[in-house]
């Protein structure tokens, strides 16, 4: 027997509904493979996104399909598994159901794994006019917009207008901000001069603005210093200790009144949990869902949250764990084990313990910084090799690994970026503000 438009068969097994096929949700489902539950996954996209390489799509280093994998294919070997491409917009804990854009479904266990969205800290002008980097369509918009600006710059006779078209401002000195800045610095140095010989690129400016006193605030001082040094190699201009106050699409205004002229502002300054309506307000803190050591949402027995959206507050992690992929993957793995213990074995649950394996960030070719546990810190070529190995190892699917490796080898030896294509021209629509998350 099938239930409403969603066409999910009724079952005698407990139904586990998962919201989000990101790092956490996908790992959870893979780890529940062959267990005695019915699995239903909802995602608003039909693919999984490998977000750590989004910046390479935005800067013409990779095609989007190299960092995406169809959810149905990844999970095709799971029996009693159903995927529905739909957005979940409400949770009804009182009747154990969720509402989606395709209809309502009841659950025995609900796992919220829908990640995070861009945080504009309430600044409407930035939300309306900047480019976030959280999803593949956003990376493609940014790539098209930057290339369209260069095409316009070639035709522009007004010097000020031409500079605004060439300049790029990045806000946020975390790993995403510095990786984008490094990749753009490389484009400026090696690719754009060949593509646009008519343009004077010496006066093209790439600014990286960070509100605190150093880059890579979550990594060591050593990593911060190295990252600043590497960015200078690519002529990226660092502006520290400054907040951006306003952006109208042409001019960036800092809190001290300084203005920078640029038609591209890349917003990499923060994310916040993706909160779906319906949970009790006490379960939400600082835009994340409060969970106990078993990832159970505060105040509920059968609702769990994992990954970016979940905050497991402890003495060691007073604000919850860092919003990174390994946390989501580890939580997905353990929650699957705990669900099996609950449903099949009636055993006690195991608490989550995060083992931090270290942090990495790359800044253009041959340069990266690494912080490993035990105070092992270094930067340079070897760190860059480690960065490449870790990312290649982590990306889903053999085809994607092969495509990315081939692209990297090509880009490395030719100093080229084969994907600087305006396939889907960027056009700004008025309704876009709400979607820029
Ligand atoms: C540009 C960038 C670079 C990053 N680089 C790194 C890095 O180098 N290393 C690292 O460890 N981490 C990195 N991160 C962070 C990492 O990507 C996240 O921590 C990780 O993706 C969190 O996993 P998750 O499962 O919680 O959510 P996600 O992987 O974000 O998955 C959430 C899923 O939920 C879906 N979804 C959202 N809302 C709904 C809804 N209402 N209904 C249905 N589906 C929904 C989304 O489509 C998505 O598929 C980066 C993030 C970004 C944005």
pLDDT digits (tens, 9 = 90+) for 64-76: 999 999 999 888 8
Residue 313 CA to ligand 1 centre (angstroms): 20
User: Which atom of ligand 1 sits closest to the CA of residue 55?
Assistant: 1
CA-to-CA distance for 142 and 65, rounded, in angstroms? 16
Strand partners, 284: 289
Contact 34, 79 (CB under 8 A): yes
User: Does domain 2-44+86-118+272-345 bear CATH number 3.50.50.60?
Assistant: yes
CA-closest candidate to residue 323, choices 300, 292, 293, 289? 289
Q: For residues 432 and 412, give the distance between their C-alpha atoms in angstroms, rounded to a whole number.
A: 36
Across 258-342, where does the E strand assignment appear?
259-261, 265-267, 271-273, 284-285, 288-290, 303-305, 310-311
**Residue 236 CB–ligand 1 contact under 6 Å:** no
Inform me whether the pLDDT recorded for 434 exceeds 80: no
32 C-alpha to ligand 1 centroid (Å):
20
CA dist 352 and 331 (Å) reads 7
pLDDT (0 to 100) of residue 418: 81
Q: Confirm if 333 and 296 have CB atoms less than 8 A apart.
A: no
User: Using alpha carbons only, what angle is made at residue 187 by residues 184 and 192, rounded to the nearest 5 degrees?
Assistant: 130
- Checking if the pLDDT of 100 tops 60, the result is yes
Q: Which two tokens stand for residue 96?
A: 């154990």
Query: Do 124-269+366-435 and 2-44+86-118+272-345 have the same topology in CATH?
Result: yes
* ∠ CA 136-168-388, rounded to 5°: 50
CB 379 within 8 A of CB 230: yes
Q: Is 274 in the pocket of ligand 1 (CB under 6 A)?
A: yes
Residues 251, 244 contacting (CB under 8 angstroms): no
Distance separating alpha carbons of residues 276 and 296, to the nearest angstrom = 16
Q: How far is the CA of 23 from the centre of ligand 1 (A)?
A: 7
Q: Where residue 5 falls among pLDDT bands split at 50, 70, 90?
A: confident
Q: Could you tell me the residue ranges of all domains in the chain?
A: 2-44+86-118+272-345, 124-269+366-435
Q: With respect to CATH, is domain 124-269+366-435 assigned 3.50.50.100?
A: yes
The Cα 154–Cα 198 span in angstroms is 7
Say if CB 214 and CB 224 are below 8 A apart.
Answer: yes
- For residue 285, is pLDDT > 60? yes
Could you tell me the distance, in angstroms and rounded to a whole number, from the CA of residue 45 to the centre of ligand 1? Answer: 12
* Smallest CA separation from ligand 1 atom 19, residue: 324
Q: For the stretch 234-254, what's the b/e string if a residue is b when 16 or more beta carbons lie within 10 angstroms of its beta carbon?
A: bebebbeeeebeebeeeebee
Cα 413–Cα 415–Cα 420 angle in degrees, nearest 5: 125
Residue among 24, 8, 263, 245 nearest 130 (CA): 263
Report the C-alpha dihedral over residues 236, 237, 242, 244, rounded to 10 degrees: -70
Which is nearest to 36 in space by CA: 410, 389, 346, 417?
A: 346
Mean pLDDT of 221-249: 97
Question: Which pLDDT does position 4 carry in this prediction?
Answer: 62
Higher pLDDT, 331 or 433: 331
Cβ–ligand 1 contact at 219 (below 6 Å): no
Ligand 1 pocket test: pick from 54, 114, 181 the residue with the most ligand atoms within 8 Å of its Cβ.
114
**Does ligand 1 lie within 6 Å of residue 23's CB atom?**
yes
Nearest residue to 25 (alpha-carbon basis) of 4, 2, 44: 44
Ligand 1 geometric centre to CA of 63 (Å): 19
The whole model's pTM is what? 0.96
Distance in angstroms (rounded) separating the CA atoms of residues 6 and 409 = 44
pLDDT digits (tens, 9 = 90+) for 30-65: 999 889 999 999 999 999 999 999 999 999 999 999
The Å distance, Cα 76 to ligand 1 centre, comes to: 21
**CA-43 nearest atom, ligand 1:** 44
Per the CB < 8 A criterion, the answer to whether 41 and 25 are in contact is: yes
For residue 422, pLDDT beyond 70: yes
pLDDT in tens, 381-402: 999 999 999 999 999 888 999 9
pLDDT, one tens digit per residue, over 304-345 is 999 999 999 999 999 999 999 999 999 999 999 999 999 988
Type and span of the H or E element at 239: strand 236-239
For residue 176, give the nearest of 208, 137, 213, 130 by alpha carbon. Answer: 208
Which atom of ligand 1 is nearest the CA belonging to 100? Answer: 42
- pLDDT above 80 for 435: no
- Give dist(CA 221, CA 246) in Å, integer: 30
59 Cβ closer than 6 Å to some ligand 1 atom = no
């Amino acid at each position: 027997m099938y239930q409403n438009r969603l066409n999910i068969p009724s079952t005698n097994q407990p139904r586990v509904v998962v919201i989000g096929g990101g790092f956490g949700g996908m790992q959870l489902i893979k780890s529940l493979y062959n267990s005695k539950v019915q699995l239903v996954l909802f995602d608003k996209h039909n693919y999984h996104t490998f977000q750590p390489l989004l910046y390479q799509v935005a800067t013409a280093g990779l095609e989007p399909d190299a960092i995406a994998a169809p959810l149905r294919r990844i999970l095709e070997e799971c029996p009693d598994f159903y995927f529905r491409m739909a957005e979940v917009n409400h949770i009804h804990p009182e009747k154990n159901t969720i509402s989606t854009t395709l209809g309502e479904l009841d659950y025995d266990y609900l796992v919220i794994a829908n990640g995070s969205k861009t945080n504009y800290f309430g600044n409407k002008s930035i939300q309306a006019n900047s480019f976030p980097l959280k999803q593949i369509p956003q990376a493609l918009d940014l790539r098209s917009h930057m290339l369209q600006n260069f095409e316009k710059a070639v035709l522009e006779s007004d010097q000020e207008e031409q500079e605004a078209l060439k300049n790029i401002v990045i806000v946020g000195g975390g790993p995403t901000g510095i990786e984008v800045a490094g990749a753009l610095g490389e484009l400026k140095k090696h690719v754009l001069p060949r593509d646009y010989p008519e343009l004077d690129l010496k006066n093209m400016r790439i600014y990286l603005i960070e509100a605190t006193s150093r880059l890579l605030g979550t990594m060591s001082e050593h990593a911060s210093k190295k990252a600043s040094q590497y960015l200078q190699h690519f002529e990226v201009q660092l502006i520290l200790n400054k907040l951006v106050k306003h952006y109208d699409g042409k001019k960036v205004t800092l809190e001290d009144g300084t203005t920078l002229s640029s038609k591209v502002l890349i917003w990499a300054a923060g994310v916040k949990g993706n909160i779906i309506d319906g949970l009790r307000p006490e379960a939400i803190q600082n835009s994340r869902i409060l969970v106990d050591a078993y990832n159970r949402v505060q105040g509920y027995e059968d609702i769990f949250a994992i990954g970016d959206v979940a905050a497991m507050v402890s003495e060691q992690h007073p604000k919850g764990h860092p919003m990174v992929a390994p946390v989501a993957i580890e939580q997905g793995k353990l929650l699957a084990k705990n669900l099996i213990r609950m449903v099949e074995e009636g055993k006690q649950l195991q608490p989550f313990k995060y083992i931090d394996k270290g942090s990495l960030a790359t800044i253009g070719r041959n340069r990266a910084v690494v912080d490993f546990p035990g105070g092992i810190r270094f930067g340079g070529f070897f760190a860059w090799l480690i960065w490449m190995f870790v990312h290649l190892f982590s990306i889903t699917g053999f085809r994607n690994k092969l495509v990315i490796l081939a692209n990297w080898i090509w880009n490395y030896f030719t100093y080229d970026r084969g994907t600087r294509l305006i396939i889907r021209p960027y056009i700004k629509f008025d309704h876009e503000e709400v979607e820029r998350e």
